[in-house]
Structure 1
Amino acid sequence: MSKSLFAVFGATGNQGNSTAQFVLNDPELSQRYAVRAISRDTSNPKMQDLKSKGAELVQADLDDPSSLPAALKGVEFVFFMTTTQYQGNTREIETRQAKSFCEAALAQSVKYIIFSSMSHPYKITKGVLKNVEHFDDKAEIEQYIRTLPVKSAFFAPGSFMQNFHSRMKPRPSYTGDGTYFVANIGNSDTKYPLIDITDTGKWIGAILASPEEYEGKFLAAAEGLYTMDEACAIIEKVTGKTVKYQQLPDEMFKGFLPEGMREPLYEMFVLQRDYGYYGETMEEQVAWAREQARSKLIGLEEFLRREKYTVE
């Protein structure tokens, strides 16, 4: 039986590479799907690794619509995402990229689009939060895809565990007493859906295993829900350091955010504190999506130990 051609855009990124690797390594999916790995740079070592495992490599760029027809020729299933533009104009750029992609996909008779989406803060908050564009634009792209004459499914990742290496990394106490703090505006009971983003393929693989079952579905993808107190306790356990959560006043917290993304990032935290990352049904959405993953998900403690995580 001939294999269906599955194209993965952004195959060197966390989501795309995880997806391509998962399909190539899965005994069932690798027999059902041939993988076409797509990137702006096919010489990237990650692309060469995929090639060694049987993937076809193709160069294409969402910002170059002329490169898309060849990349999508013969493709039946495709995974793609747009990337937040932290320098500004992210809604405009991501929307343009997505529409160019979808036009090319329809012209090439792609049967099934899997898009990396996001929750919709403007809709969830009934217009109260207007500036979380890096979430809203992906939700709007999802809405657009749903209007097209093509089957589709949507993977919507939670907060990345990888952020504990950067903006969520514990900082030393100003007292110099050897303790560390994670700080934001969340309440003590605010729950954050956390995902090791390199687990992406476990959900995309589930969709590919039963595409009809997941048609039109939205997967609120996270390993679990954690309060910051719980996350800090896990970091303490792994590092042996004293790590505590500190809730900051809103205006103080805003002052620590980069100027160009201050309002979007601030409102993203307000969304999580006051409405839930995925809205009021977040717990049910995350529980359902977790059950759909095709293999065991990485929890926060396992992630930190794998990363040989330290605070200093």
Structure 2
Amino acid sequence: MSAKPTVLVTGATGAQGGAVVSELLKADKVAIRAITRNTTSPNAQALQTRGVQVVKADMFDGPSLTAALTGCDRAFLVTQFDGPKGTAGETESGNLFVDSARAAGVKHIVFSSVGNAESKTGVPHFESKRAVEEHLFASGIPSWTILRPVAFMDNLPPEGGIKRAMGLGVFGSLLGGKSLKLIAVQDIGWFAARALESPEQWKGKAITLVGDDLTVEQMKDAYAKVQGARPWSAWMPASVLGALMPKDVSLMFKFFRESGYNGDIPALRKMHPGLMTFEQWLRSKHSPSA
């Protein structure tokens, strides 16, 4: 039998990359390599105990990326806009990864971008991901898949407390009653893993990932169903919040109110019957004794 293809996963010690690793391990169709700046960290060592090869590399260091990617058939790329270089750094690191992958002979890249990146939203951290998409398209990499997740369910605290109350208050004020499309990070991992396992079936596809579409009041309904009590939220005037927030975040909420993400939930659920609603995600996180 031939050896399994090797997949390199970025962000494997974080949320999205970690979800990809977990989904790939379930199917056991590929060998997994992960990169980290510190191979002796507890998170890196935990990956190694699960059978993941962990190698040292830096997203801003081309030679280390090329070395890490050498021998890999496929790769999962996730970028960060909240690093020390901001959105410019996100594009820089993403483009460098693509160039390094081409130099190493990688045949397929799955890039986790953001919903509506192709729509000229004017949101800086959407535009920085779009720049990476465009670089990938022009790179000469033989095959690619673009996943465009919407807002993460995982950014809303599943259990009660001031953090959840503040979060719901912010969303309630700034969304102005409009619904917001949501996706569970676990489901991002599912789609990425399938694209990495079967690149020939996913080649050239760009898919918006969404599992639910809810107003803040409907989110509260879901909390009540799962936890038995409707959560409270802190009231905050939208004008004050808009003035205090970073420009990037303010522009993102403006996009949410005026346009919002697209996405076809029924079509996605045909592809992935286990695609979670917000209520199902809450149930997966809720401990009755909490």
What TM-score, normalized by structure 2, do the two folds share?
A: 0.86
Deviations for 1:186-225, whole angstroms, at most 9, x for unmatched residues? 243x232212213322101221343122112112112222
CA offsets 1:202-258 (integer angstroms, 9 cap, x no match)? 10122134312211211211222222221111122333333367997642331452x
Verify the 8 A CA contact 2:75 2:196 in the aligned structure 1: no
162 and 309 in structure 1: CA distance in 2 versus 1, 3 angstrom threshold? farther
* Equivalent residue for 1:288, pick from 260, 267, 290: 267
1:85 equivalent in alignment to 2:100: no
Consecutive unaligned residues of structure 2, counting only runs of 5 or more, are none
Q: How far 1:172 moved relative to its partner?
A: 11
What is the match of residue 241 of structure 2?
253
Picking from 77, 83, 106, the partner of 1:110 is 106
Q: Tell me how large the CA RMSD over aligned residues is.
A: 2.9
User: 1:27-58: CA deviations, max 9, x gaps?
Assistant: xxx23x11112222222333333322322111
- Give 1:41's aligned amino acid: N
Q: Distance in 1 between matches of 2:83 and 2:218?
A: 29
1:102 and 1:228 map into 2 onto residues whose CA distance is 38
- In structure 2, distance between residues paired with 1:214 and 1:162: 26
Aligned to 1:176: none
Query: Which one of 49, 63, 69 corresponds to residue 66 of structure 1?
Result: 63
3-state SS, counterpart of residue 266 of structure 1? helix
Instruction: Report SS of the residue matched to 2:154.
Output: helix
2:278 aligns with 300
CA contact (8 A) 2:166 2:234 kept: no
Q: 2:152 aligns with which of 157, 160, 173?
A: 160
Paired residue type of 2:128:
D
Secondary structure of the 1:152 match is: strand
Aligned to 2:9: 8
Displacement, 1:306?
3.4
Q: Is the 8 A contact 1:203 1:292 kept in 2?
A: no
Which digits, 9 at most, give the CA deviation of each residue in 1:128-180, with x for residues without a partner?
Answer: x53x111111012111101121111012221111221299822499xxxxxx8
- Aligned pairs, number: 283
Question: Conserved in 2, the CA contact under 8 Å of 1:118 and 1:138?
Answer: yes
TM-score, length-normalised on structure 1? 0.80
Could you say what secondary structure the match of 1:243 adopts? Answer: coil
Query: In structure 2, how many angstroms separate the alpha carbons of the residues matched to 1:106 and 1:230?
Result: 45
- The AA in structure 2 aligned to 1:230 is Q
Deviation at 1:290, TM superposition (A): 4.0
Structure 1 counterpart of 2:251: 267
- CA change 1:53–1:238 in 2 (3 A) is same
Partner of 1:140: 131
Higher helix share: 2
Structure 1 gaps, min length 5: 174-179
CA drift of 1:10 comes to 1.5
Deviation (angstroms), 1:97 = 0.8
Query: 2:149, 2:209 within 8 Å by CA — same for their partners in 1?
Result: yes
CA distance in 2, matches of 1:300, 1:236: 12
Q: Look up the SS of the partner of 2:111 in the other structure.
A: strand
Deviates more, 1:99-108 or 1:204-213: 204-213
Identity among equivalent positions (%) equals 27
Q: Distance in 1 between matches of 2:198 and 2:167?
A: 47
The 8 Å contact of residues 194 and 223 in structure 1, kept in 2 or not, is answered as yes
Q: What residue number does 1:97 align with? A: 93
Task: Give me the whole-angstrom Cα distance separating, in 2, the residues matched to 1:19 and 1:172.
Answer: 27
Cα distance in 2 for residues equivalent to 1:91 and 1:98: 11
CA distance in 2, matches of 1:71, 1:270: 40
SS of the aligned residue for 2:175 comes to coil
Q: Which moved more, 1:155-164 or 1:299-308?
A: 299-308
Amino acid at match of 1:19: V
- Distance, in Å, in 1 between the alignment partners of 2:20 and 2:197 is 13
Q: CA deviation at 1:124?
A: 3.0
